[in-house]
Amino acid sequence: MAKITAAEVGKLRNTTGAGMMDCKKALVEADGDFDKAIDILRKKGQKVAAKRADRDSSEGVVVAKINDENTRGILLSLNCETDFVAKNDSYVELANKVAEVAFNYNTKEEVLEADLDGMTVGEKLIEQTGVIGEKLEIGGFEVFEAPFVGAYVHGGKIGALTGLSSESDNKEEVAKSVSMQVASMGATTLSYKDFDPEFVKSETEARIAAIEKDNIERGRLGKPLKNIPLFISRSQVTDAALAEAKANYEAELKAEGKPEAIWDKIIPGKLERFISDNVSLDKEQALLDQDFIMDDKKTVAQYVDSKGADVVGFKRVSIA
């Protein structure tokens, strides 16, 4: 039997990340053959991975990478089972190594087949599953390219990329601020104009039905009833709908005895409120139409315009 030295154990540990005892056992089993010991540790990882395949990998780390020109960025989440592992420095280092490799690819499948330390990324994750003892996998992977790309990662759990169309003087500030908005508010599309009409229609019906059902219970309990909106998106507020709303407001003002000469000063504010009350879907899911988290008196679109910038898109990845 070959004599196993501390130096050999240390070398195997540096190569695989496995614990000292696991490395020593693998070298003993391999009779000192370094490559065979690596193979033994990989097979151990495969066995552990197979046993934990049905586990929920709902913790992990989100990493963002952007090139020096700020024209391409990626987001990647390396998922594990527990927050304890996710906070480990060696795990964060592994996530960053995977992200460095992933930067040169466009799909998760390509990343898993890419080389990392002499093996594929997929094989590396199986190997480290054996080392760590938890299921590891790439959860989310997004790539975005634009004339200028900025990023923001919150607490290692939520990451966002924002693309701008031009070289605004405030590009770094705008890209970061909007990325913070994306990370915080979780928009699904850039503008209300991007919503599919059928989606808006079905969502409107579902929301109205939910409010009507809630109002039945509120009425039974003697509570104030919730307002049932006419619409839920600016895409539904047509010129005809605005004209009808204006006519209704004019009739109200006339009934209240307000002089017609001052209607023009009152009605624009009422129409603005009318639109605001009927765009709940936009404020939830359309990035540019959301209230800006740093100044809720502005929408994101108004903030971006004030900085002379133009957002062309975004990506978001979070730990589920």
Structure tokens at 101: 């490799």
Q: What is the CATH number of the domain that holds 12?
A: 1.10.8.10
Which of 179, 168, 215 lies closest to 75, judged by CA?
179
Does residue 26 register a pLDDT over 80? no
Per-residue pLDDT tens digits for 204-252: 999 999 999 999 999 999 999 998 888 999 999 999 999 999 999 999 9
Q: How far apart are CA 310 and CA 164, in angstroms?
A: 6
The tally of domains found in the chain comes to 3
**Of the listed ranges 44-53, 91-100, 208-217, the one predicted with least confidence:** 44-53
Whole-number average pLDDT of the chain: 89
Candidate from 27-31, 56-60, 281-285 with smallest mean pLDDT: 27-31
Classified as helix, coil or strand, 261 is helix
Give a yes or no: residue 311 inside a domain. Answer: no
> Residue 19 above 70 pLDDT?
no
Distance CA 58, CA 81 (A): 6
Which residues lie across from 152 on neighbouring strands? 160
* pTM metric for this prediction: 0.79
Q: What are the backbone angles phi and psi of residue 318, rounded to the nearest 5°?
A: -140, 160
75 with 173, same domain: the answer is yes
Report if residue 220 sits inside a domain: no
In one-letter notation, the amino acid at residue 134 is E
Q: H or E element: which one contains 140?
A: strand 137-145
Q: Does 208 map to a domain?
A: no
Q: Are both 31 and 86 inside the same structural domain?
A: no
**Alpha helices per DSSP H over the chain:** 6-16, 20-29, 34-51, 83-86, 89-102, 108-113, 121-132, 171-185, 197-220, 239-255, 263-277, 280-285, 300-306
| pLDDT at 161 > cutoff 90 | yes
CA–CA dist 177, 171 (Å, integer)? 10
The pLDDT assigned to 267 comes to 92
Contacts for 63-67 with beta carbons within 8 Å, 24 or more apart? 63/95, 63/96, 63/98, 63/99, 63/153, 63/159, 64/99, 64/151, 64/152, 64/153, 64/159, 64/161, 65/99, 65/100, 65/102, 65/103, 66/149, 66/150, 66/151, 66/161, 67/103
Residue 17 sits in the same domain as residue 125: no
| Whether pLDDT at 91 is above 90 | yes
CA atoms within 13 A on the CB side of 106: 2
Which residue in 246, 212, 248 sits closest to 229, CA to CA?
212
Structure confidence by residue, pLDDT tens digits, 167-193: 778 899 999 999 999 999 999 999 999
- Residue 117's pLDDT is 86
Please tell me the least confidently modeled range out of 28-42, 122-136, 235-249, 283-297. Answer: 28-42
Buried b (16+ CB within 10 A) or exposed e, 119-154: ebbbbbbbbbbbbbebbbbbbbbbbbebbbbbbbbe
45 pLDDT tier (thresholds 50, 70, 90):
low
Residue 109 binned pLDDT confidence (cut-offs 50, 70, 90): very high
Give 59-83 pLDDT, tens digit per residue.
999 999 999 999 999 999 999 999 9
CB burial readout 222-255, b (16+ within 10 A) else e: eeeeeeebebbbbbbbeeeeeeebbeebbeebee
Q: Tell me: pLDDT of 255 over 80.
A: yes
User: Residues 123, 164: one domain?
Assistant: yes
Which of 141, 159, 185 lies at the terminal end of a domain, its last residue? 185
Q: Say whether pLDDT at 131 is over 90.
A: no
Instruction: Give domain status of residue 198, yes or no.
Output: no
- 177 SS3 class: helix
Q: Is residue 172 part of a domain?
A: yes
pLDDT for residue 8? 76
Instruction: Tell me whether residue 128 is in a domain.
Output: yes
Residue 192 lies inside a defined structural domain of this protein: no
Same-domain pairing of 102 and 42: no
Query: Domain range for residue 270?
Result: 238-277
pLDDT score at 77: 97
CATH of the domain at 65: 3.30.479.20
